[in-house]
Amino acid sequence: MKFNFEFAEKISRTYSDECRPLCHELKLPQTAFDILMFLANNPEYKTARDIVEIRKIKANLVSVNVDKLVNEGYLERKPVENDRRKTELVCTKKAGTVIERGRRIQQQFTANLFAGIDEEQKKQLTIVMEQLENNMDEIIRRKSHK
C-alpha cells in the first residue's frame, strides 16, 4: 500500500485557504486565528504551553500571537489560582463573533471535505483514524523511551 504523505499537508493548506479571507478581514495572522479557534474548540486547554505542546506551534510564535490577541481584545490572561507561574488564556466576548464565523468556516470545510462520502464510510474512516492515532502515539512513546 502506498501512503501519500502529502495528504495532511494538502488538508492544512486547503483549510488555510478557506480561512484566509476572514483572517485578512480581521487583520489577524493565520496563526493567531488558529490559536483562538483552538482555545475556543478545546476548552480543556487553557495555556500557551498547551498550545505549544498540543498544536506543535513554536513557543515564540505562540507568544507573539497570544500577545496580539490579548492586545486586540480577543483573549484575556487570567492568573491560575494556587499557581503564580501559570496564566490561563480566556476568550473574550469580542472573540465570540470571530469564533462563530470561524466555526461556520470549519463546518463548511468539513462538509465540503466529506462530500460524496456516506455515513458508513465516515464511520469506518473514524475507526481507521483513531487506530492510526493510537499507532502514532505508540511510535512516539517508544521513541521517547530510547
Query: Residue 136: enclosing H or E segment and its boundaries?
Result: helix 119-144
- The confidence band for 62, taking pLDDT boundaries of 50, 70 and 90, is very high
Evaluate whether 90 touches 76 at the Cβ level (below 8 Å). Answer: yes
Helix pair 93-113, 6-26: axis angle to 10 deg: 140
Residues 83-140 have pLDDT tens digits of: 878 899 999 999 999 999 999 999 999 999 999 999 999 999 999 999 999 999 899 8
Question: Residue 10 in contact with residue 50, Cβ under 8 Å?
Answer: no
Count CB-CB contacts under 10 A for residue 28.
Answer: 21
**59 touches 66 (CB < 8 A):** no
Phi first, then psi: what are they for 83, rounded to 5°?
A: -150, 95
Q: What pLDDT was estimated at residue 1?
A: 63
Contact of 29 with 65, CB cutoff 8 Å: yes
Q: Note the pLDDT of residue 81.
A: 83
Percentage of the chain lying above the pLDDT 90 cut: 82
**Distance (Å) of CA 18 to CA 26, 101, 106:** 14, 12, 9
β strands within the chain, DSSP E? 75-80, 83-91
Q: pLDDT, tens digit, for every residue of 128-146? A: 999 999 999 899 889 888 7
Quick one: pLDDT at residue 4?
76
Angle at Cα 54 formed by Cα 26 and Cα 4, nearest 5°? 90
Least confident of 8-12, 35-39, 91-95: 8-12
- pLDDT given for residue 2 in this prediction: 67
Predicted model pTM = 0.84
